[in-house]
C-alpha cells in the first residue's frame, strides 16, 4: 500500500500528519523521495524513521561509499524541508553490523532517527479544542 492508500483507508486524506513513523525494512530509500516529491511531508511536524544501510554488507568495498552517499542525499532532502534531527539511536542487531576493515571497527547499519520540523507554529496546525462548558455558580 502507498502512503496515500493508507491515508485514504483511514479517512485522513485532508488531515495534517503530526507524527509519521516509517519502519519499512530497507524500502525507505525508495519511499522517502516519493513522499518528498508528492508533497506528503510538507505539512508534517515529526518524522521517525528506522533507516537501514545493511546493503553495504553485500556490495564490493568500492560501492560502499557511493551507496552511503546516496542515502545521505535522501536524508539531506529532509533537512531542506526544514526537518532537523532531534535524536538518533543505533540498532545493534548482530546481522546488521558492518566490519570496516581499514579502521578495524564494527558499525551498525540500522538506526532510529527522529526529525522535528523547525519553524512550525504548532497552534496554527492543531485541531481546534472544545471549550470548557460554562457552569453557573
36-86 residue pLDDT tens: 998 888 877 899 999 988 888 888 989 988 999 999 999 999 999 999 999
> Which CA distances in Å does 15 have to 2, 102, 125?
16, 49, 10
Q: How much is the average pLDDT of 96-111?
A: 81
All structural domains of the chain with their residue ranges: 16-120
What is the fold of 16-120? Answer: Translation Initiation Factor IF3 (3.30.110)
Cell numbers for 55: 546493503
Scanning the chain, the segments in alpha helix (DSSP H) are: 3-10, 28-37, 61-80, 122-125
Q: What is the DSSP secondary structure assignment for residue 57, as one 8-state letter?
A: G
Give the residues across from 121 on adjacent strands: none
Model pTM score: 0.74
pLDDT band at residue 121 under the 50/70/90 scheme: low
Comparison of pLDDT for 134 and 58, the residue scoring more = 58
Instruction: Check if the beta carbon of residue 110 is closer than 8 Å to that of residue 91.
Output: yes
Amino acid at each position: 500500500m502507498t502512503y496515500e492508500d493508507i491515508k485514504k483507508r483511514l479517512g485522513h486524506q485532508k488531515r495534517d500528519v503530526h507524527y509519521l513513523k516509517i519502519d519499512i525494512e530497507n524500502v525507505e530509500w525508495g519511499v522517502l523521495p516519493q513522499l518528498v516529491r508528492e508533497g506528503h511531508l510538507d505539512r508534517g511536524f515529526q518524522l521517525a524513521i528506522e533507516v537501514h544501510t545493511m546493503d553495504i554488507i553485500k556490495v564490493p568495498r568500492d560501492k560502499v561509499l557511493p551507496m552511503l552517499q546516496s542515502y545521505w542525499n535522501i536524508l539531506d532532502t529532509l533537512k531542506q524541508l526544514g526537518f532537523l534531527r532531534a535524536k538518533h539511536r543505533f540498532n545493534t542487531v548482530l546481522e546488521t553490523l558492518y566490519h570496516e576493515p581499514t579502521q578495524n571497527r564494527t558499525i551498525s547499519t540500522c538506526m532510529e532517527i527522529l526529525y522535528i520540523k523547525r519553524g512550525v507554529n504548532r497552534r496554527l496546525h492543531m485541531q481546534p479544542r472544545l471549550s470548557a462548558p460554562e457552569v453557573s455558580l
